Amino acid sequence: MIHVVAEIRLHPGQLPDYLAILQENIPAVLAEPGCLDYRATVDFDAGLPTQSRQADTVSLLEKWASPEALHAHRQAPHMLTYREKTRGLVESVQMKVLQEV
């Protein structure tokens, strides 16, 4: 199983528009072969002293059955459309791809 944490940093003020596009795309992602979980999250102030918070950032928490499923996801037609729709909203994307030990 592969875990992905994708951090999407948005241009200031673009969070509502981005979330609308993302929520529209999530059912298609969850229907992909090998997608075990795909969730959008935003920072929550838990009042912890070591917590770092980032405004205008969405973290996607993903689980994939295999690296092949993850690669297929990146090329899925709905993902190409999603990237085109969000192009002007996104400042940067960073991904961590993890496996359990």
pLDDT in tens, 32-89: 999 999 999 999 999 999 988 888 999 999 999 999 999 999 999 999 999 999 999 9
Query: What six digits make up the tokens of 26?
Result: 């999530």
Contact indicator for 35, 29 with CB cutoff of 8 Å = yes
Q: What pTM did the predictor assign?
A: 0.91
pLDDT in tens, 2-27: 999 999 999 999 999 999 999 999 99
Domain that holds residue 7: 2-99
Write the CATH number for 41.
Answer: 3.30.70.100
Other C-beta atoms within 10 Å of 74: how many?
9
Count the domains in the chain: 1
Write down the pLDDT at residue 54.
87
CA–CA gap between residue 5 and residue 25 (Å, rounded): 17
Contact indicator for 40, 29 with CB cutoff of 8 Å = no
